[in-house]
Structure 1
């Protein structure tokens, strides 16, 4: 797996919206944050564009991503929001130039499609991290500072408190994953996650309990847990129980899906659609240790 070059002060970085539309005030606030890191933000053509719920029609969103991938002066690409849209364009994007001159792609949620494509098809790392649209809920220093550390190649490691559903153990492997529903929807496509021999990260937002269960069962039937070396469970937020109740919490649903395996499982990591979204370097070698004192996650970059 190849990790793109880490950023340096005065590097140019692109901001694009290849999924849903993002309000300008959050874009401008993100620009100020990146400038405070001594970076030079460049706005893509999708910034300010709108076509229904998406940031412009498919052809514009595809071309904006293509341009940022191909520009040698752009050293990282920041997705401004999730939502929906990448799946409509990703099979039209030409990654041939990017393959030989990779750069960081940052985002989460709908960006899971792109992350999986980069890891699975191009063996290139990327960053699951906070986006401009998250600033609607306010600036969270933990999220943005962890992203800065990841992008500039500083030491990145996390400690998580013990969780009653944790399965103890120690393991290492390359990190992959993202939003559960998108991992499920990507099955059978070029953007399908390859979890064999990997540490898998999962998070989700706004799903009913039975749907979360159906996604996980589908991933299980597709063999996505068979050769996993470890599981990190991030935020499972705004989940809705059923009527009558499903009978399990979201965390219990996850554990039920992987109960027959023996790899370590860690719950409670603050990444995903929650208030705090700590950065994860997908494609990097990760060391996962889960014991009675809690969990440690450390990256080799």
Structure 2
């Protein structure tokens, strides 16, 4: 899935939000007081929406519903879940309306995004952030859903959840992550790469590489690198001061990763963060040209001068098994051991 396409339409800002009939986003949102969602319970009803790209295969809707039901939940489909307008899952207004309706519906206890792709950034000015503040509930997804995580957290302070989309892989690892995060009672959740036994003398799969050693703590923010950098200069990015930044991507050649990391440097994001975690860069192989920097070299160039704890290789991103992370919650990180751990409650 190649998701690098546009998402540069956010210059509309607050004006479009007011025009659409929803409260305008704060032009330069100050750090919001953290808002915790209510905990999900087995048997609860969740809303399935498609805020980004359209889903062409109708069986994907069936898979998403059945996955949620297998996790012990009931499902309500968004009114426009199966719509299509070009590559998008319906018009901007309709996709935003589905999200707003799910947050306003008292019977819905969590919002599940069926897929990513591209297009979520188009609806950011149409989201009713006041409604979300009054009805805090979990929202789950990743990839292009990065736009929603950052915008909702920046505008409301709500802790959201970066993890498998509704139609994604619900293997035992991901299902266990879902149950641990949403149904579990643990005070601290630890995220450490799974160790898989092989016949090789050396563990090669799911290895982490420490970029700069040490430990750090801070609120966890980030997501898909392409989507995140496309929000630069908009009111839909949170404050990065003393935060732990996590990133992942897919289908981007190293020179593009370098360009986007330079955006984070030039906008001052990198100099503000307390720690850094890079997940997986799937299908990010170089092609042609006079030679290429490697992803390792690029990360070293931008992160080593910062002298903050940093590592790469976490199970985050476009991979079959992935962490389900609380976006905006305070976490501790250990760059030597490759561990993330929640430091506070993530639900009310």
Q: Which TM-score band applies after superposition, normalised by the shorter structure?
A: over 0.9
Secondary structure, counterpart of 1:110 in structure 2: helix
The CA distance in 2 between the partners of 1:134 and 1:254, in whole Å, is 28
Cα drift, residue 132 of structure 1 = 2.7
Larger Rg: 2
Answer yes or no: is 1:143 the counterpart of 2:177: no
Task: Let me know the Cα RMSD of the aligned residues.
Answer: 1.7
Corresponding residue of 1:275: 320
Deviates more, 1:43-52 or 1:208-217: 43-52
CA contact (8 A) 1:209 1:246 kept: no
Q: 1:278 to 1:37 in 2, by over 3 A?
A: same
Q: Deviations over 1:274-299 (max 9, x none)?
A: 222221111111011122xx222111
Could you list the structure 1 runs, at least 4 aligned residues long, displaced by more than 6 angstroms after superposition: none
The CA distance in 2 between the partners of 1:170 and 1:8, in whole Å, is 33
Corresponding residue of 1:259: 304
How many residues are aligned here? 296
Secondary structure, counterpart of 1:3 in structure 2: coil
The within-5 A match list for 1:135-284 is 135=169, 139-155=170-186, 156-160=189-193, 163-284=208-329
- With normalisation by structure 1, the TM-score equals 0.93
CA contact (8 A) 2:314 2:338 kept: no
CA contact (8 A) 1:31 1:41 kept: yes
Corresponding residue of 1:297: 340
Q: Deviations over 1:121-162 (max 9, x none)?
A: 111100001013324xxx422123212322224432122476
Q: 1:130 to 1:154 in 2, by over 3 A?
A: farther
Cα drift, residue 253 of structure 1 = 1.4
Cα drift, residue 34 of structure 1 = 1.6
Answer yes or no: is 1:20 the counterpart of 2:63: no
Ranges in structure 2 where 5+ consecutive residues have no aligned partner:
1-33, 194-205
The CA distance in 2 between the partners of 1:109 and 1:224, in whole Å, is 20
Ranges in structure 1 where 5+ consecutive residues have no aligned partner:
none
1:45 is aligned, of 79, 82, 89, to 79
Q: 1:133 to 1:11 in 2, by over 3 A?
A: closer
1:31 is aligned, of 49, 57, 65, to 65
Q: 1:238 to 1:29 in 2, by over 3 A?
A: same
Cα drift, residue 165 of structure 1 = 4.3
1:116 is aligned, of 143, 146, 150, to 150
Cα drift, residue 241 of structure 1 = 0.7
- With normalisation by structure 2, the TM-score equals 0.81
